[in-house]
Amino acid sequence: MSNELQNIKNRFGIIGNFPALNRALEKSIQVAPTDISVLVIGESGVGKEFIPKIIHSESRRKHQPYIVVNCGAIPEGTIDSELFGHEKGAFTGATATRKGYFEVADGGTIFLDEVGELPLQTQVRLLRVLESGEFMKVGSSQVQKTNVRIVAATNVNMMKAIHDGRFREDLYYRLNTVQIDMPPLRERKGDTHLLFRKFAIDFAEKYRMPELELEQSAVHYIENYSFPGNIRQLRNLVEQMTVVERNRNITAEKLAEYIPMETHLPMVVSNQSTPKPNDFGSEREIMYKILFDMRNDINDLKSLTSELIKNRGTADLSNHEKNLINRIYTPEAQPQINSGSLLYFENNEAPAVQNPTIISSPDDSYEDIEDIEVEENRPESLSLQNNEKDLIIKALEKHKGRRNRAADELGISQRTLYRKIKQYNLED
């Protein structure tokens, strides 16, 4: 790492050594001496606001004004006045002439945060400033010049916004002369613990309390949590725990009380195009396929039985219908289906029946059929819970109780695995 990059991190309190983060900071330093426009892309809470500060501080404009404008926080009806100013009497409440940000920041830098939220009318005005450095106050016909560098940031998918007609394509390309991407915290697993320690020190000093320390299980926990709120969420978590927790040694179980639970269905994650025959994920896929095929067969069988009762048995079963019924049962329990016969399910639950009763009606008399109730809309129960428990046991046995590897094998987070182990009483 270069001394210049390390100095920037020290000046702005930036923690971490993730390659994508270093690349974003290096690009900021490289473009700072120029006047080209920069667009910072990243999720909410990743620290996009540091990039324009670095660019301004390393540019020739560092002694000139630096103004931050949150485009999403200004009402649509007043944002033009905020950015470009207005003349006295331009609208109701305009009791005096007012300078806008572009006039005040002349010679400096304006950071347009959440630029994707700008109204289309304002986007047209901003495009003119970028192209010619000219603007007009609201209610004025006099053109004014400004020399402002613009750095913009957004967490919006700009290409989708352009496709939906919410953002001008020409403005996007004017802003995006250089694009800087800030990585989300979930990709910076090695930096998460460093950030936690940094925040723990800061808040311990601020509130004059002992510093929080993470046990190894808690370190592993936060490094595998997705943090949808990114660094902002982590910072708030540490501040809250610093104030609330009496015990300064934090465990994974304690973290689980503060961080919202993530619920994930089991997923098969594989980098191979063709799974190996003995691959655990492949076995699970086969099991799910069998269960879903069984459910479809049961639904077809119910429809068939209902239709037979409705028609009072006037038509014989086809070979396909006989095969369909026989597929539901094991070979030991398969009944012999004859023409004119009707299958009666005890308790109306076909999957649970081991000894179905055949009611023969050669004389087409169905007096006893009236007592049969067919529930077409009865919900199915395939007991996925039992299969899930078996899969977890199998994964733990395969990896000799190492839960992190078992969670990776199952395609779920370790926190979800811990919860499932407790749920199924698999602690031993």
Q: Are 142 and 102 in contact (CB under 8 A)?
A: no
More confident residue, 407 or 66: 66
For the chain, residues classed under CATH 3.40.50.300 are: 3-183
pLDDT given for residue 64 in this prediction: 97
Which range is most confident: 140-154, 316-330, 334-348? 140-154
| Tokens found for residue 203 | 């808040």
Q: How many residues does the structure list for the chain?
A: 428
Among 7-11, 198-202, 284-288, the range scoring the smallest mean pLDDT is: 284-288
Confidence band, pLDDT 50/70/90 cuts, at residue 232: very high
Which of 364, 53, 336 is CA-nearest to residue 40? 53
Report how far residue 95's alpha carbon sits from residue 97's, in angstroms, rounded to the nearest whole number.
Answer: 7
More confident residue, 29 or 385: 29
Neighbours of 63 (CB within 10 A): 9
Report DSSP state, residue 138: B
Report how far residue 152's alpha carbon sits from residue 401's, in angstroms, rounded to the nearest whole number.
Answer: 49
Report how far residue 137's alpha carbon sits from residue 99's, in angstroms, rounded to the nearest whole number.
Answer: 8
Sign (positive/negative) of CA torsion 315, 316, 319, 323?
A: positive
Q: What is the Cβ-side half-sphere exposure of residue 74, based on CA atoms within 13 angstroms?
A: 22
Q: Are 281 and 270 in contact (CB under 8 A)?
A: yes
Report how far residue 388's alpha carbon sits from residue 280's, in angstroms, rounded to the nearest whole number.
Answer: 13
Q: Which residues pair with 143 in a beta bridge?
A: 136
Helix ranges (H only) for 225-336 are 230-244, 252-258, 280-310, 319-327
Neighbours of 165 (CB within 10 A): 9
Report how far residue 86's alpha carbon sits from residue 178's, in angstroms, rounded to the nearest whole number.
Answer: 32
State the residue for tokens 């270069």.
2
pLDDT (average), residues 157-171: 95
* Residues ≥6 apart with Cβ < 8 Å to 426: 389, 392, 393, 396, 420
Q: In percent, how much of the chain has pLDDT > 90?
A: 57
pLDDT given for residue 261 in this prediction: 55
Which of 121, 161, 218 is CA-nearest to residue 39? 161
Confidence band, pLDDT 50/70/90 cuts, at residue 424: confident
For the chain, residues classed under CATH 1.10.10 are: 383-423
Q: Which fold has domain 383-423?
A: Arc Repressor Mutant, subunit A (1.10.10)
pLDDT in tens, 77-113: 899 999 999 999 988 888 999 999 999 999 999 999 9
CATH of 187-258, picked from 1.10.8.60, 2.40.50.1070, 3.40.50.1240, 3.50.20.10, is: 1.10.8.60
pLDDT in tens, 352-370: 444 444 434 444 444 443 4
**Is the predicted pLDDT of residue 53 greater than 50, yes or no?**
yes
CATH of 3-183, picked from 3.90.1150.10, 3.40.50.300, 3.30.565.10, 3.30.70.3270, is: 3.40.50.300
Confidence band, pLDDT 50/70/90 cuts, at residue 309: low
For the chain, residues classed under CATH 1.10.8.60 are: 187-258
Among 39-43, 277-281, 344-348, 401-405, the range scoring the smallest mean pLDDT is: 344-348
For the chain, the average pLDDT equals 80
